[in-house]
Amino acid sequence: MTDQQSKSVITKKEYYTPETPDNQLVLESGDVLQNLTIAYETYGTLSEKKDNAILITHAFSGDSHVAGFYEDDHAREKPGWWEFMVGPGKGIDTDKYFVICSNILGSCCGSTGPSSVNPATGEPYGLSFPMVTIGDMVKGQKKLVDHLGIKQLHAVIGGSVGGMQVLEWTVRYPEMIRAAIPIATTMRHSALAIAFNEVARQSIMADPNWNKGNYYNGKKPDLGLAIARMIGHVTYLSDEAMRRKFGRKLQGKEKFSFGFDVDFQVESYLHYQGSKFVQRFDANSLLYITKAADYFDLVDREQFTLQDLEEKSRGLIKFLVISFSSDWLYPTYQAKELVKALKRTGQNVSFCEFVADCGHDAFLIRDDRFSNILRGFIDGISR
């Protein structure tokens, strides 16, 4: 057993289904989502005053399994997606804090989404599932936090689409947050980010097995979903990371095939990532979550904008905005725009850009500098 594994915890997935009539959620679209279920996991111990809770929000294809191992994983082969960051003595120390991570609405990892059974029909929702927004996801999370009896969160932390949720928390429920750490994220998608998401969605909808979302009782649009993942994965890396890892190396051969077989290692890698993704994710969920990310906009909307913080929080939330130098999906200039917008509303803001050549996914890669910054900031909130 490695030293990292020895500091891990055994966890389990739990499910929160509010009792009637609270088991419905009025969405931003005006639709009402019935039979709400939130999948979540917790780590550490909630203090007697319930003042040491940290909510971690995951990226679009993530889930509630942020750290540790499930009890039936005896070989400890499937750690949580932020295993290096969350746990006893780690950057987010579960010896001190009670950590919550819930699966977002619209996903396929335990919370209600398009693959869930529609109580009105007894069949999976498919495209009859209502459109959800980042705001709707956060409203669902608040129901869970209220259920746990927590009045105020020590911090809300998340990267990428998780960072959008962090920002949404600050404008919707500022009184419930002592600190916010949005990582590798943006106030709203650029045209480039929307374009990549649309190409990914079209690759799914062009798959003949997609069948307008009604594929749950037959063949699934695995090819379209795999291509969508390949497209997305390119945006998570950087030119330097791909050059260092792959370059123009050939895959298992010494010369070109002079055909359309896989010749390069980078091609093989992307095929692998696509095939692995279809084993754990739902194509319709990708459609819904990427659309929710595209809709997210803290600048140009009628309510719950950053400007609202000036009245609501009066600088009481401590912000730590983090970016990575090689992230070209959500570049550092977007993080700096967020910092300026927060300062204009009188917020208490710190900013850190890490020099890292791993691209957007850098926040998911172990880095002691990153862990130390989070540990110091989180512990300093109390002081």
CA-to-CA distance for 178 and 151, rounded, in angstroms? 11
Annotation marks residue 327 as catalytic? yes
Alpha-carbon gap, residue 19 to 50, rounded angstroms: 23
Q: Is 160 a catalytic residue?
A: yes
CA proximity to 59, closest of 372, 292, 315, 325: 292
Active-site residue, selected from the candidate residues 93, 207, 327, 361: 327
Residues 35, 129 contacting (CB under 8 angstroms) = no
Q: Where are the alpha helices (H) located in 278-325, listed in sequence order? A: 283-295, 309-312
Choice among 65, 360, 361, 367 that is catalytic: 360
| Cβ-contact 2, 131 below 8 angstroms | no
Asked if 138 and 37 count as a contact pair (C-beta separation under 8 A), the reply is no
> Among 79, 116, 89, 86, which residue's Cα sits nearest to residue 101?
86
3-class DSSP state of 349: strand
Q: Which two tokens stand for residue 83?
A: 């295993």
Distance CA 172, CA 164 (A): 12
The catalytically annotated residue of 115, 160, 238, 285 is 160
Q: Which residues contact 359 (CB under 8 A, 6 or more apart)?
A: 236, 237, 238, 241, 324, 326, 327, 328, 329
Are 283 and 267 contacting, i.e. CB atoms less than 8 angstroms apart? no
Angle made by CA atoms 328, 177, 132, in degrees to the nearest 5:
60
- Give the helix/strand (H/E) hosting 373: helix 368-382
Q: Which residues are catalytic?
A: 160, 327, 360
